[in-house]
Structure 1
Amino acid sequence: MDLLPNDVVELILERLDVKSLLKFKSVSKQWKSTIQCRAFQERQLMNRRQSGNPDVLFVSVCDHSYLFDTVFEDMRTLVVGSSVSVKIPTPWAKKRLYNVCKSSCDGLICLHDANVPNIVANPTTRWHRTFPLSTYQRLRYHEDRVSSTPWANLGFGKDKTNGTFKPVCLYNSAEFGGLYNDDNSTTICEVFDFTTNAWRYVVPASPYPILPYQDPIYVDGSLHWLTEGETANVLSFDLHTETFQVMSKAPFLHHHHHSNRDLVMCNLDDRLCVSEKMWPKQVIWSFDSDRGTWNEIYSIDLNITSSWLGKHRFSLTPLGVVDKDKLLFCEPLTGDPLLTLDPKTKSYEIAHEFLYHTSALPLCYFQSLITIL
């Protein structure tokens, strides 16, 4: 390797997995400097995305340890197609149960909880950083006057222009009687700045109220929510300009009543998608940002999946795309088992099934070296 030019060595290293690169940091100071360079890490992540399927991360979000043979673990990762899952040791407190943002970003995940600081973590390298609760999180759990308000889950994504990561908390201002809302917005938006280690308000926020309890989805530099009302719209928040806009009308807007049971947003292969449950099928629509249109890309036959999952009230959870075009999805409450749908043959397969009770829900991510300084 000493006989090769440095740029050739970098091209070789970029194609290696994270586990190998962590070991190779000890080869030389130059290799260590290269592997720790953000530009190199971004190229390595790009290669990872192009060359393989995402991994599946299971994060414990509910304590069912009182159930017989239930296994409690903070995190476990799985390579799709493998029958083996691997436990990921976590440095934070054991038996602490976190909610997890449903969209990973550059191999990072964001965990949030009621009474302890939030966490952004890289499950591959074990790196993590804590950050404080937002105003909403503190008020939601410590003020009696808002104790009955719906929970607003955090969103997490990246400003693609300058590369900064941003947790975002968006919630309806009516839940606080107009508190901290002195404009015409019907929502309040808080954004966390890792540079100052503090939350700040975005004014004006959205003029559209959002559905409660939903999980914001990150795609291509923006976070997305479904709006509340007679028709559901998709609300987009650009993480660079920090402005809101409502996206093009979609086929699933014809319903008069919406809930998180029937409509679920997701990120499939870096495309914004909305999953619509209308028994006996569940249709997944993908947004074409170039044409501003929504296209049907998958249709799940619920009569077939019910033989594995039973008849459930909530929409199935789309997780990602594997083997180029197969849909990976799971049961909405337990995340087990994982199923795939081949859109060409209309066939279904079990991709993974735990042999014991689990209290973890899955999300897809690509292994990376990325951290937040």
Structure 2
Amino acid sequence: MEEKRENTNSIYIVPELLEDIFLRLPLKSILKFKTVSRQWRSILESKLFVERRGNLQKHRRKILAAYNCNYFMRPSIFPESRFEGDEEIVYLHCDAAQPSMTCDGLLCITEPGWFNVLNPSAGQLRRFPPGPGPVKGPQENWLLGFGRDNVTGRYKIVRMCFHDCYEFGILDIETGVWSKLRSPPHNMLPGSKSVCVNGSIYWLQISAGYIILAMDLHEESYHGVHHLPATWVTQETS
């Protein structure tokens, strides 16, 4: 019987170099590689490796890329993220019918029948129903806002509908409870983008006139509707 020839193409990689390679991999790959061999599993489960990867993740910048998805798919992070140099890009499904909203690094996105609040740094996604009861009117008719109550520190979602029905509500995402809001002093166009500044949400409407609607998240009341001179804004103003 012929002796088995030694495989001259195999390469031995020292454990220290393996660990440096593993540190640059996404979590999904690390979980897969644990099953390759006992040596790899030992490296990936060692206390030193876990600590080094944790410290590296703290300093690595992440980019969240959101794109439109099938209406019947719930938003979810892609099975694997991608790396561009030292930056990690995480891809997320979202519904383009409504603009996504951000506040203090949190992201609020919508899908039919749900509001989703994502904390990219912690990798946490919480989902909330769009109202206390059956919601009337199509989603594209909503005016939305997302921000932080400066007094309590709680994050809130505002949903207002001016077409087909008149429904106005605010959600405290800590308790998951919806409350009713009184009607704002002016009807606003659905889909207008919002921004939260110092505990108040502001909406800019550009149509025949130029209007800013503001709402205090703690008092849950409107504290100003400002008609701006036409010379201050254009159709491209945001």
**TM class by smaller structure:** 0.5 to 0.7
* Superposed CA RMSD: 4.0
Could you tell me which residue of structure 1 aligns to residue 164 of structure 2?
Answer: 175
Secondary structure, aligned partner of 1:217:
strand
Q: Percent identity?
A: 21
Normalized against structure 1, the TM-score is what? Answer: 0.39
User: Match for residue 209 of structure 1?
Assistant: 187
* Corresponding pairs, count: 179
- Aligned letter for 2:148? K
Q: Which residue of 2 aligns with 1:113?
A: 111
- Alpha carbons of 1:252 and 1:228: their partners in 2 closer, same or farther (altered >3 Å)? closer
Match of 2:12 in 1: none
Aligned to 2:73: none
Which residue identity lines up with residue 137 of structure 2 in the other structure?
R
Gaps of at least 5 residues in structure 1 are 1-19, 25-43, 49-53, 64-71, 91-95, 142-148, 180-187, 266-373
2:149 is matched with: 159
Residues 178-197 of structure 1: CA distance to partner in whole angstroms, max 9, x if unpaired?
A: x5xxxxxxxx4210123442
Q: What SS does structure 2 have at the residue aligned with 1:139? A: coil
Distance, in Å, in 1 between the alignment partners of 2:237 and 2:209 is 14
Q: Which has the higher contact order (CA 8 A, sep 6+)?
A: 1
Q: In structure 2, what is the equivalent of residue 192 of structure 1?
A: 171
Counterpart of 1:60 (choices 67, 79, 88) is: 67
Q: Any idea what SS the aligned residue of 1:140 has?
A: coil
- CA 1:62–1:195: 2 relative to 1, 3 Å: closer
**CA separation in 2, counterparts of 1:150 and 1:208?**
19
Q: Distance in 2 between matches of 1:21 and 1:152?
A: 46
The answer to whether the 8 A contact 1:112-1:118 is kept is: yes
1:166/1:263 Cα in 2 relative to 1: closer, same or farther (>3 Å)? same
- SS class of match (2:103): coil
Q: Distance in 2 between matches of 1:75 and 1:155?
A: 30
The structure with the largest alpha-carbon Rg is: 2
Is 1:235 matched with 2:232? no
Moved >6 Å (runs of 4+): 74-78
Flag the 1:153–1:208 CA change in 2: closer, same or farther, 3 A. closer
Deviation at 1:139, TM superposition (A): 1.9
1:214 to 1:229, Cα distance in 2 relative to 1, 3 A: closer
Task: Report the TM-score, using the length of structure 2 for normalisation.
Answer: 0.58
Q: Aligned partners of 1:164, 1:21: CA distance in 2, in Å? A: 33
Gaps of 5+ in 2: 1-50, 71-76
